[in-house]
Amino acid sequence: MKISAIQMNTRSDKAANLDQARALAARAVERDRPDMLVFPEVFAFMGASVADKRAAAEDLPARGGDGGAAYETLRGIARDHGVFVHGGSFVERDGEDFYNTTIAFDRAGDELARYRKIHLFDVTTPDGRDYRESDTFGAGREVVTYDADGTTVGCSICYDLRFAELYTALAREGADVIMVPAAFTLQTGKDHWEVLLRARALETQTYVVAAAQTGTYFEGNDERASWGHSMIVNPWGHVLAQAAEGPGHATAEIDLDYMKDVRARIPVANHRVL
């Protein structure tokens, strides 16, 4: 399986963001012919106020039903290009509650999985900026995997990356590839992003695919920056592909035979006692 991680500069114009997603998907398909496209966290809307984020939210349809603009954009990309789509995340509305939610689709645009981000980013970064994701979202509770042409895909989102126990749980569920759609801050990303991605790949002996936000956006009047550096890491901890600065993509082959060889050489799963 060949996977492309799409890197975006999402801001607070939802229609423009969805246009950007479609254009970047078309470019990746034309250049690399991937089997799967992975989008970043909050690919449809980023920045502005809590009220604006919630106004951009979408109710998820019953399986097979028609969804909102972000949902249908992802479904349309899958159908139009005949690829699996791991939809990064967008704001889900469920009654009075809101979640940071991933949706995945198969090549025909049929929904495969839903995952709500478990760990919420309530942090003050080294530059003094406050990030309070729980002001907008509730936390998910379920560990989620799905099958894509015989490859088991595990779901995580951004700040989840710092919690190794989630990745161990995904590995126990049989994950071959773990997705990390993200909007890592510049302050934390420059020191922690690659280290954490490679650590999670090494610990779980899986491929890790990280599609990231890049560039600047506004949170109210405050200009903030995302680290970017979307990348794909193999089970030995090597970075196979990394996106350049700005919107674009990174593509790599997922080789399950290689993954099995790594697991046979260092049988971590057989030695785990906790």
The catalytic residues are 41, 117, 158
What distance in Å separates the CA atoms of residue 58 and residue 38, rounded to the nearest whole number? 20
- Rounded Cα–Cα distance for residues 177 and 204 (Å): 10
Report CA torsion sign: 133, 214, 40, 157.
Answer: negative
| DSSP structure class, residue 8 | B
Are the C-beta atoms of 270 and 18 separated by less than 8 Å?
no
* SS3 (DSSP) at 7: strand
In whole angstroms, give the CA distance from residue 100 to residue 136: 9
Helices of type H across 108-180? 164-172
**Helix (H, G, I), strand (E, B), or coil: what is residue 108?**
coil
